[in-house]
Structure 1
Amino acid sequence: MSAPVDIAHSKLRSLYHFWESRRPAPDLLPGRQHFQAEDIWPWIGYIGMVDVERGDGPDTPLRFRIRLQGENLARLTGNRQAGRYLDETLNTKYRELILDQHIQAARTGQPAYRIQRDDSKPWKRIDRLVLPFASDGHTVDLLMTGLYMAVTPSRPFSENIP
């Protein structure tokens, strides 16, 4: 299977290839049982994991309980949120975009990649990849998010500035 889109960020591209390598069969999603904690070491500070809660009926909205938040991810989001629901922690103007990306991955079983830019902060870019996992190979019950932020200063840094 090829990447869902052209993943621009090299570390997220390698995270995608890791996920792809853990599939037990081409038509099955990998589950949490298909990797050890040390396998995700190259991305550990930049990933989060959320449990997918489906509720009782088909019309019940999906909810995402934060299981793990890497140190750098926690810094980017403002604080540690493990144990809380994602929809309770997002207080940004990107709340719906972030939730929609998680819903898309949970419902389709396909990775969801997005580059997010803020017109008011053109120097800031966030690359986010959401990867679906399924214990039974079919029903997504866990999402892993890789998130990297890049900052492009308006002028180069110089040690000679007084």
Structure 2
Amino acid sequence: MSPLTAETASLCARCHAGAAGCKQHLLQLHNYWEAKRNRQNFPRRTDIEPLELGFILPNLFLVDVLPGLEFRYRLTGTEVDEIHGINLTGKSPMDIRTPEVASLVQQQYEAALLDRRPRCDHLKLVGTDGSFWHYERLILPLSEDGHTINMLLGGIYLD
């Protein structure tokens, strides 16, 4: 895999600063997504080969984009479910156990959809339930027609 280039370094301030502090597997996932784009705006879901993503499968998630800025988890890796304390497959981000995190995830998915580009977030948050959240998450848009984003591919790691 090639390293993150200046062209793709707009993911976040940390990534822009030579990827200092960013999880290597998320950078690899971003580079994989870039290669699968093949000069299109976004890769298709069918361009993504799960066997090629073994390096990140436990931390991977795939989200369906539904009408009305709704999102539904199609697939979540074991580490994704462990981080959130619930099997999210088939559920909405609003089903995440901590309301502040659920709302923030929903907002970040909406932003990735509306901004029409990858998004990397480094989150530090204490929920009203006393839970401490400190993680890094990458969100990558997918599109079957090259224009309309119909899925989000991503990875998440605890910091």
Q: TM-score range, shorter-chain basis?
A: 0.7 to 0.9
Tell me the SS of whatever aligns to 1:110. Answer: coil
Asked if 1:37 is matched to 2:39, the reply is: no
Counterpart of 1:63?
A: 70
Q: How does 1:66-145 map to 2 (within 5 A)?
A: 66-118=73-125, 125-145=134-154
More helix by share: 2
Counterpart of 1:157?
A: none
- Tell me which of 33, 36, 50 is aligned to 1:22: 36
Q: For the residues of structure 2 that align with 1:35 and 1:3, how far apart are their CA atoms?
A: 21
Aligned AA (1:30): P
Aligned AA (1:80): N
Q: For the residues of structure 1 that align with 2:158 and 2:125, how far apart are their CA atoms?
A: 12
* Residues 24-69 of structure 1: per-residue CA shift (max 9 Å, x gap): 32x4210111121101111100011110012xxxxxx301111001
Q: Could you tell me the percent identity over the aligned residues? A: 24
Q: For the residues of structure 2 that align with 1:119 and 1:35, how far apart are their CA atoms?
A: 34
Tell me the SS of whatever aligns to 1:93. Answer: helix
User: RMSD of the alignment, in Å?
Assistant: 2.0
Counterpart of 1:2?
A: 8
Aligned AA (1:149): L
Unaligned segments of structure 2, at least 5 residues: 1-6
- Structure 1 residues 139 and 35, CA gap change in structure 2 (3 angstroms): same
Tell me the SS of whatever aligns to 1:81. Answer: coil
What is the number of residues matched between the two proteins? Answer: 142
Q: TM-score, normalised by structure 1?
A: 0.79
Between structure 1 and structure 2, the one with the greater Rg is 1
Q: CA deviation at 1:72?
A: 0.7
* Residues 112-153 of structure 1: per-residue CA shift (max 9 Å, x gap): 1110113689x8630011111001111110101210002xxx
Q: Is the 8 A contact 2:116 2:141 kept in 1?
A: yes
Q: TM-score, normalised by structure 2?
A: 0.80
